[in-house]
Chain A
Amino acid sequence: MQYLLMIYQNEVEYAKNDEATSQKMLAEYQTFTQSIIQSGNFKAGDRLQPTTTATTVRVREGKTLTTDGPFAETREQLGGYYLIEAKDLNAAIEIAARIPSARIGSIEVRPIWVYDK
């Protein structure tokens, strides 16, 4: 099965990290990503720019409405994701728990919708 692992954390707090801490985190992410590439679980993954760069788009009565910022103000923001292939939810949870940000923020594990052929 495929799962999207969405990485949520408080981006304002995270931005306060000093250079050494940021570098260490980056290195941990590289190690983690390498490990799930090697194990064959990795499908895709990216880090996102902060929500200050976000734009929200809606179309109402044919008109495109554009607003500054994310759709909802929350304590933790979506900061990145991995798309993985895993045997079942337990395997997906095990991988999610190894994402470095799981220790400071939280990871939402969502199965990918599969359309019946």
Chain B
Amino acid sequence: MTPGEIDKIFRDEAGRALATLIRLVGDFDLAEDALQDAFAVALERWACEVPDNPRAWLVNVAKHKAIDRIRRQAVFRGKQHALVHELELNALGPGEPIATLDDDMLRLIFTCCHPAFAPEVQVALTLRTVCGLSMAQVARAFLISEEAVAQRLVRAKQKIRLAGIPYEVPEREALAPRLDGVLAVIYLVFTEGYVATEGADLMRPDLATEAIRLGRLLNRLMPDRAGITGLLALMLLHDARRGGRQTPAGDIVLLEEQDRALWDRAQIEEGLRLVEDALRVPGRPQPYAVQAAIAALHARATSFEATDWPQIAGLYEVLLRINPSPVIELNHAAALSMVDGPARALDLVDAIAARGGLRGYELLPAVRADLLRRLGRKAEAREAYRAATEATQLEPLRRLYARRMREME
């Protein structure tokens, strides 16, 4: 087996192996170090022969490495005998029930997304430990230094230990709000991949892919939850349009200009099936499921003109009832402009702006600019495009606004 192939197995198994190891050794750092040791051994041995169950192999080798480390470390002196004994009892056979291993993965996800961490820390922890991204990859994803990521992770792991953040999936009434937190982290990773906050590139496809991978994992581990299925459907449907959303030169292609033949049909079909599943789960409608239903209407439309705008506007009204926010109001106004015309939508947008709920939200001037342009109010539109340009750090968006201003000359 080539180092490249071995590396792929590491990537696929790292999160799961780590999840189980943390439960066995009861310490994040020790588990990570021991897993690194096991990877080093695997690189040597797997070149000749790969074990039948690579994950169980990795966990067992890492466990022995952890025992070695405990014996060497003065910190654990005193507790050493009890710990080593317990670890030896916890041998992981190839026949370990899948359910236990799935539970470990959920424990890891819920611990990384604990609300005691700031959102950016939750994201960094999840990408590093659950997705197995390297420190450098996490740093690149959020345009921060590797040092800053390392610092964040060290502090987080310290907090897990010192503040007593438990390695468990919350029970009963605590589960729903915590699950919302987990979904928010996944969606945060996805949206950064879908439209980056800043920089030269519109998208970061690797982040979108990681978020979808997390969504699939969670959807398998906790089936029949409309929020999870809805989020997965939403991400798949948005991501399916990736091929049509920019020119080869990296310029934005707007929805109304996109060549729909470039959309990923297979992924859209999967997304549509999941939307149906999400909407069929009994209980009150979940925001992600409703957003996915909106994305589904876009994905189904044969052209921009043929889009079912009245139904989209209606779904935004549902969203406003179950999950009101100025961002949703803005989206609702944009959809309504396709039903009742830009003048009525502009009134709504100006009302949102007057309330000040979206101050600093960069898309408000952009939506205003587009409505003013369609109304032929060129001077005001130009003013709004200038404000929109000021408000964004993303170069493709700035080029889009510049193009719009040129078109109006």
Contact = CB atoms under 8 A, between A and B. Distances in A.
A and B from one assembly?
Answer: yes
Q: How large is the interface on A (under 10, 10 to 19, 20 to 34, 35 or more residues)?
A: 10 to 19
Nearest to A90: B166
24 contacts: A1-B164, A3-B164, A87-B164, A87-B166, A88-B164, A88-B166, A89-B114, A89-B116, A89-B163, A89-B164, A89-B165, A89-B166, A90-B165, A90-B166, A90-B168, A90-B170, A90-B174, A93-B116, A94-B174, A111-B162, A111-B163, A111-B164, A116-B75, A117-B78
A78 interface: no
A88 B168 CA distance: 11
Contacts of A117: 78
Nearest to A1: B164
Interface string B155-195: 00000001111101010001000000000000000000000
A83 interface: no
Contacts of B164: 1, 3, 86-89, 92, 111
Nearest to A114: B162
A106 to B, nearest CB: 14
Q: How large is the interface on B (under 10, 10 to 19, 20 to 34, 35 or more residues)?
A: 10 to 19
Q: Which 8 A-B pairs have the closest CB atoms?
A: A88-B166, A88-B164, A1-B164, A89-B164, A89-B165, A111-B163, A89-B163, A90-B166
Nearest to B116: A89
Binding site secondary structure of chain B = loop
Interface of A: 1, 3, 86-90, 92-94, 109, 111, 116-117
Interface string B95-136: 000000000000000000010100000000000000000000
Contacts of B165: 88-90
Interface of B: 75, 78, 114, 116, 162-166, 168, 170, 174
A25 to B, nearest CB: 25
Contacts of A116: 75
Nearest to A113: B162
A80 to B, nearest CB: 21
> Could you say which of B75, B164, B165, B166 has the most chain A C-beta atoms within 10 Å of its C-beta?
B164
Nearest to A94: B174
Contacts of B116: 89, 93
Contacts of A86: 164
Contacts of B162: 111
Contacts of B78: 117
Contacts of B168: 90
A109 B162 CA distance: 12
Nearest to A2: B164
A39 to B, nearest CB: 17
B154 to A, nearest CB: 17
Contacts of A109: 163
A25 B116 CA distance: 28
Given A89-B116, A90-B165, A90-B166, 18 more contacts: A1-B164, A3-B164, A86-B164, A87-B166, A88-B164, A88-B165, A89-B163, A89-B164, A89-B165, A89-B166, A90-B170, A92-B164, A93-B116, A94-B174, A109-B163, A111-B164, A116-B75, A117-B78
Contacts of A94: 174
A70 to B, nearest CB: 25
A116 B73 CA distance: 14
Contacts of B75: 116
Nearest to A92: B164
A94 B170 CA distance: 12
Contacts of A111: 162-164
A93 B114 CA distance: 12
B316 to A, nearest CB: 33
> Could you say which of A87, A88, A89, A111 has the most chain B C-beta atoms within 10 Å of its C-beta?
A89
A82 B392 CA distance: 46
B281 to A, nearest CB: 27
Nearest to B170: A90
B32 to A, nearest CB: 21
A24 B357 CA distance: 35
A90 B164 CA distance: 8
B171 to A, nearest CB: 10
A96 B75 CA distance: 32
Contacts of A90: 165-166, 168, 170, 174
A63 B78 CA distance: 44
A109 B163 CA distance: 9
A3 B164 CA distance: 10
Contacts of B166: 87-90
A2 to B, nearest CB: 10
A89 B166 CA distance: 7
A92 B168 CA distance: 15
A73 B159 CA distance: 28
A87 to B, nearest CB: 7
A102 to B, nearest CB: 15
